[in-house]
Amino acid sequence: MLPDSNLLLQLVEMQMPFGKYKGRLLCDLPVSYLEWFNRKGFPEGKLGMLLQTMYEIKLNGLEYLLTPLKKK
């Protein structure tokens, strides 16, 4: 099954809306921050799903999937 390209695009375009890393692109969040969410619980809704997806991407070394989508 191929990953949803719209989902991946959102990871490189959407900014974190709150917290310590407010304004940072979701794809640029440090893995330690994503691990914290994994322990404490991801937010509800779309943001939580995107953060969880980013966590899985970083955990499994799949960040190369986002490289072609990042704006130059």
Q: Where are the domains of the chain?
A: 24-60
The pLDDT assigned to 71 comes to 72
Task: Provide the pLDDT for residue 72.
Answer: 54
Cα 36 from Cα 34, distance rounded (Å): 5
Q: What is the pTM of this model?
A: 0.89
- Point out which residues pair with 15 in neighbouring strands: 25
Which residue from 66, 59, 65 is spatially nearest to 30, judged by alpha carbons? 59
The list of the chain residues with pLDDT below 50 reads: none
